Chain A
């Protein structure tokens, strides 16, 4: 649109962004004018009224009601405008259209996955049909995260004890960044994902062909569970040390715990490590605690994970 502060905002890709941007520009332009006025006044006064001699006498001007009322009322009016404008934009952001397509968002340290009505789960990529309102129903597994897409001008914290909602609609097919905007520990800055907006038809094809996570082979199933649940943001499967110990080659071996004792990695130990990670803490990994997956992974899934870990030699 060619406004003065255009360079500050990323491209707008959702219809709700327009009101936000217009307000942003309005505040910036008004502020800019006021600031210019203040700055010019300072410089002008500093030069015009610089001290000429040490016994300059200055006039006594104690107040001026007209002036004072003006400069209280004008800012008041301006801020009321800004309030009302911001409020209407906010209402837009809060009122989800009835025909919105619902997707469930799971946030965890440090990743996202997205669940669709047909059971498909896609990690780190949010696929949506363009041109249709999307409602995200979000929950966190551990602590507070925040779902932020700059190009859609939306942001909403994702809480562990409640569902929160946010909606948007992609104007056109394309990709946008998703950031986690609430500080959540070590890999907060790595908690990225992408929104991928498809043409509606392409979206349907994607949905039907995508992986639902279920698989008959326990090893395969375990492997995909590791990706979907973000285990790999802490555990490598190639032997390198991450935030948590690597899972490669631990099966059947002894590990030293923080209290100095050792245990052998077997089914029960892995099970306990997943459901109650604080019960036995591996030496050297005391600083960042692992989240419990109690209530998130069921017995069958844990069994699959164990099968997969067995294969990591």
Chain B
């Protein structure tokens, strides 16, 4: 049985259990039918439902982005969309991508599936709450879509007052939708923290947790500490529109810059909610595909916590030009640079892990390596933005747009793709077409850079963001960027195609196609309903690739009296 009290157990009857490559039963075959899915408390099914929802929203968000880019092929106002529609496009694109895609993507979709498996638990601590979070997410989404259907939204994803207190669009409904969504995020965070504290398998000490778990732990802490502030900010914004409370509305005596503090107090940490889980995936993929112990386990584990903590104190770097006091501006700038150090440590630790490894360039690894390249660019340009005098020039230009696409799309989303390809066999029990996978990753890499590199240039040349029209000088950059976004679309469609294809036509996936040592690979693909046939026992560190696989396939023998040949006594 799973227990957190593992340290108390002095010796256990353990036995090697080699997972079958051809399980007869798994969580997909056991509880079937729409109703079973909708009422399931199984973290794996909930994870898959999140994944489907996130993909759906990503397709919508991406479609809006492509529309928007198509408009920007020309800088004139004679176009198939007018200025108000354009404003709604980028607002909805940004809001959907941030609140509906990136925040839940890795933790709630992949994390839900993988976290209990990696801990050797049967489920998360509060399975019903987990299902509840999913429904809260769906309800939030429905609200938002009602809003879009009603009047749209044109405030930008940042909802700055006083524009948002007076805009004629459905600000109220959307904020309410996002408010509901916030609870989903808070509850998931609470659930994960409790799970990690209480449901680790026997022998799974903090020092033996996979780095992905550490990353999810840091993420959950940020979610619990930051999201409530977003919630109260949105409540104030809603009350602003319903009751005219005016705390943020200058027309009523409030202070609009205060809103920016409140908003960024959540939204800067939120960017770490998005990127830290991506770091978790990176650690898993890089070790697996270089068959090598991670370099600097504790540095990577604890730097996530450091990023989480310092990340809370830098929000004002979005407000350098806002009229915030020079003292605050200086302090925020200083702290901003400190975030770069732990992040840099991670990047370099992964590089060092590659050194003398046994590297196989399968699709997940290709994504992981492009992450290293692209995210570094995103991070370095973050440093540019943190530098006071330079940010005064590039703030609210396409330079910022390029920066955050490099970190969010090039960082998180590419890590998500890495994770998705990595765990696809575990989740679905099917292998995708490797060749198409490689082509897909190349298209994404090329398309991405073609789309967003030109934006750095035009941004520092002075092209402001959220512009429906632009002066001729910027046309070449915009055109290049739009072409890039078409390449990206082709790439994503290809990925969508071969992944779906694999569901029906794919080869059966073995239990451990990549030869990983992690716990989730020591059960069948897909896993059984309760994850493991036998509660796993952990004796090695998670990335001990120099030890034989047998030592990772241990479980507590159910019938302790019976003495089979394989039974060994292990000190834990």
Instruction: Please give the residue numbers on chain A whose beta carbons come within 8 Å of chain B beta carbons, in ascending order.
Output: 7-10, 19-20, 23-24, 27-28, 31, 34-35, 38-39, 41-42, 45-46, 49-52, 54, 56-64, 67-68, 71-72, 75-76, 79-80, 82-83, 85-90, 92-94, 142-144, 146, 148, 150-151, 153-157, 159-162, 164, 177, 179-190, 192, 286-289
Contact = CB atoms under 8 A, between A and B. Distances in A.
A86 B387 contact: yes
A42 B390 contact: no
B93 interface: no
A157 B376 CA distance: 30
B162 A160 contact: yes
A89 B389 contact: yes
9 contacts: A54-B515, A58-B357, A63-B295, A75-B340, A89-B390, A90-B326, A144-B163, A161-B250, A183-B466
A49 B372 contact: no
B248 to A, nearest CB: 11
Contact of B469 (A56, A58, A189): A189
A42 B291 contact: no
B368 to A, nearest CB: 10
Contact of A185 (B154, B334, B360): B154
B389 A19 contact: yes
Contacts of B347: 38
Given A24-B393, A287-B84, A289-B168, 6 more contacts: A31-B380, A34-B376, A49-B355, A153-B392, A159-B323, A179-B462
Given A75-B340, A161-B256, A287-B151, A23 B387 contact: yes
B380 A51 contact: no
B462 A177 contact: yes
B566 interface: no
B358 interface: yes
B396 A189 contact: no
Interface string B380-415: 110110111111110111000000000000000000
Given A28-B384, A45-B359, A153-B393, A38 B337 contact: no
A51 B337 contact: no
B323 A156 contact: yes
Nearest to B541: A62
A66 to B, nearest CB: 12
B384 A155 contact: no
B342 to A, nearest CB: 8
Contact of B345 (A8, A71, A94, A190): A71
A184 B163 contact: yes
A64 B352 CA distance: 10
B169 interface: yes
A224 to B, nearest CB: 26
A39 to B, nearest CB: 6
Contact of A20 (B162, B290, B357, B392): B392
B299 A63 contact: yes
A60 B291 CA distance: 10
Interface residues on B, range: 35 or more
B359 A50 contact: yes
B388 A86 contact: yes
A82 B380 contact: no
A82 B456 CA distance: 19
A67 B326 CA distance: 37
Nearest to B457: A8
A286 B168 contact: yes
Given A83-B334, A188-B467, A289-B168, A58 B293 contact: yes
A42 B293 CA distance: 17
Interface string B125-155: 0000000000000000000000000010010
Contact of B163 (A64, A75, A164, A185): A185
B396 A182 contact: yes
Contacts of A90: 326, 329-330, 333, 388-389, 392
B326 A94 contact: yes
A159 B319 CA distance: 13
A181 B396 contact: yes
Contacts of A182: 160, 396
Contacts of A179: 462, 464
A38 B376 contact: yes
B480 to A, nearest CB: 14
Given A155-B396, A188-B468, A9 B460 contact: yes
